[in-house]
Structure 1
Amino acid sequence: MQARERILIALDTSDAEQAVQWVKLLSPYVGGFKVGLELVHSVGFGIFARLREAGASRLFYDAKLHDIPNTVARAVRAIARMGVWMVNMHASGGRAMMEAAVEAARSASEPPLLIAVTVLTSLSSQELREQVGTRRGASNQVVHLALLAKESGMDGVVASAQEARALRKSLGEGFLIVTPGIRLIGDSAGDQRRITTPSEAVRAGADYVVVGRSVTADADPVRKVLRVVEEIEAVETVSEHL
C-alpha cells in the first residue's frame, strides 16, 4: 500500500459544498475520505454520490451503528447499496450484532469493509470506569473489544494509535487498524484525549490514519497533507531496511 493510500481525510463539516471542495482538492493525495454524522444529517445521504462525483473513490461512513442485530443488518445492506467502501459500528453492541452485520455485508454485490469502534478516543480510563462502568482501563478495553470484533468476522477496528501496538500483537496481521486522533507536531489536540502523529501510528501498526482539522483547517491543506505523506513514507522506508 502506498503511503497516500493510508490517509483518510475527515470531512468534518455540515456544508456539502465545503466537503466537495476538500475532495476535489485532496483526492489526488489521499486514499479516501471519512463522512461523519454531522455532514450526513445536515445534507442527507445524497452526499455520498456527490462526493464520488467529485473524485472520492473510497468513502468511509463513520456511522457508529449500535442497535439490535436485525436493525444493524438492514442498515448495512442499505449502506452497501450507496457504494460505501467502509462503515463502522460499536463493538460494544455485541457478537450477535456484529455477526449479523457481517452476514448482511457478504450478501451485497460490493461488500463494504466492516470496522468496529472499540473505545472513543475522547474517553480516558478514569471516565470509562466512573461513567461507563467498565472495570478495565482504556487500553485493556480496546483489546477486549477488538478480539471480540475479530471473532465476530469483522474486517478491523477503529482504535487509538496508542493501543495499536498491543492490538497488532493480539490480532496479528491482516486485521485492519484504523486510527483517528491524528495530529502533526505543533497542532492542537482539539477534543481528542489520545492523539499521536502519522508516523507514530504507522510505526505502531496502524493500516489507515484519519486526519481531520490538522489538514482541512490549515491555510494550505495540500501542503499539510503532503507532510503527512512524507511522514508515513519515512517510516515505510526505514521498515524496508530493517
Structure 2
Amino acid sequence: MPWKLEHVGERKESRVVLALDYFKGGDPLAYWTHLLGRTAHLLAGVKIGLPAFMRAGPTGVASLIEGYRDDLYFLADFKLADIGDIVSEELSLLEALGFDGAIVHLFPRCLSKVPAVSLNVFGLVSMTCPNSLVDAHFQELLDYASELGLRGLVVAATKPSAIRAARERLREAVILSPGVGVQGAPPASALRAGADFEIVGRSVVLAEDPLSELERIVEAQRVVLRGG
C-alpha cells in the first residue's frame, strides 16, 4: 500500500521534502507557518529536525502539523539511535504529536523488528558528510534494513552511487535523499539516481524568494518525472 508521502507527491507532482532547521529572523514558528502558507502546494512533505523542534517546542510543532495535516507529510528527523525499547517509545511519542514518519539510525543494530507504530520508519544508511563512518558500513546497513523489512531509507543525494546501490538492493524502498542545494547535489539529481524524494533545506528556507527557488527545484524534478 502506498504511503501518505507517495500519495501527496503524486498529487502535487513534487518530490520535495522541505527541511525546517533554519529560519530568517523573528519568531521561527511564525516564519515557518508563513513559509508553508506560500509553498505547501509545491511540497510533498516537511522534515522537522532537532533545531526546529527545540525552537518551536512540542506544542508549537504539534500546532504546525495540525494546520497542514491533510496537505503535507511530516517527517521527524531526530535520527533515533538507542536500544529497541527506547526507540519504540520515542516513535510512539512522535506519532502522538502527529508525525507521519521518523528517521532512525541503524548502526546500533538494536532493533529485532520494525516497532509496532503506524508512522513510517526510515532507516539511515548514508549521510552527506564526505567521510561519514556510517557510509563506511553502507552495505552492512543495507543488509540490516533488508533483514528488518524496512521500506524507508535515507541515502545522501551527494552520493548517487549509494542511491543506485540502495535501489538495486531494496527495489521497493521509499528512498529519501538529503543534501540537495547548499550541500551540493543539484535539484533532481537524486531522482535520476533512483531516489523517490529529495530533502531540501537552506536553499529554499533562507532564499531571498523561497517560492521562486522552490518552483525552480520542482520544475527540475518534473522534467525527470515526465521522463526527461
TM range (shorter): 0.7 to 0.9
Q: Is the 8 A contact 2:66 2:98 kept in 1?
A: no
Aligned with 2:100 (options 80, 85, 97): 85
Structure 1, residues 45-80: CA drift from partner, whole Å, max 9, x if none?
123322124435311110110111111111111111
Q: Distance in 2 between matches of 1:211 and 1:4?
A: 16
Q: Is the 8 A contact 1:24 1:54 kept in 2?
A: no
Q: Distance in 1 between matches of 2:29 and 2:59?
A: 10
Greater helix fraction, Structure 1 or Structure 2: 1
TM-score w.r.t. length of structure 1: 0.79
Corresponding residue for residue 146 of structure 1 = 142
Aligned with 1:9 (options 18, 25, 42): 18
Count how many residue pairs are aligned between Structure 1 and Structure 2: 210
Q: Distance in 2 between matches of 1:119 and 1:166?
A: 11
Corresponding residue for residue 178 of structure 2 = 180
Corresponding residue for residue 212 of structure 1 = 201
Aligned with 1:55 (options 56, 63, 68): 68
Instruction: Give the superposition deviation at 1:98.
Output: 6.0
Query: Quick check: 1:97 aligned with 2:111?
Result: yes
State the identity as a percent. 28
Which of structures 1 and 2 has the bigger CA Rg? 1
- Supply the AA of the counterpart residue of 2:200: V
Query: Which stretches of structure 1, 4 residues or more, deviate above 6 A after TM superposition?
Result: none
Corresponding residue for residue 6 of structure 2 = none
Computed over aligned residues only, the root mean square deviation of the Cα atoms, in angstroms, reads: 2.0
Aligned with 1:119 (options 114, 118, 126): 126
Q: Distance in 1 between matches of 2:111 and 2:49?
A: 21
Note closer, same or farther for the CA distance 1:211–1:155 as it changes in structure 2 (3 Å cut).
Answer: same
Aligned with 1:46 (options 54, 59, 79): 59
Corresponding residue for residue 214 of structure 2 = 225
Q: Is the 8 A contact 1:98 1:154 kept in 2?
A: no
Note closer, same or farther for the CA distance 1:217–1:13 as it changes in structure 2 (3 Å cut).
Answer: closer
TM-score w.r.t. length of structure 2: 0.84
Where does structure 1 lack aligned partners over 5 or more consecutive residues?
106-110, 133-137, 184-188
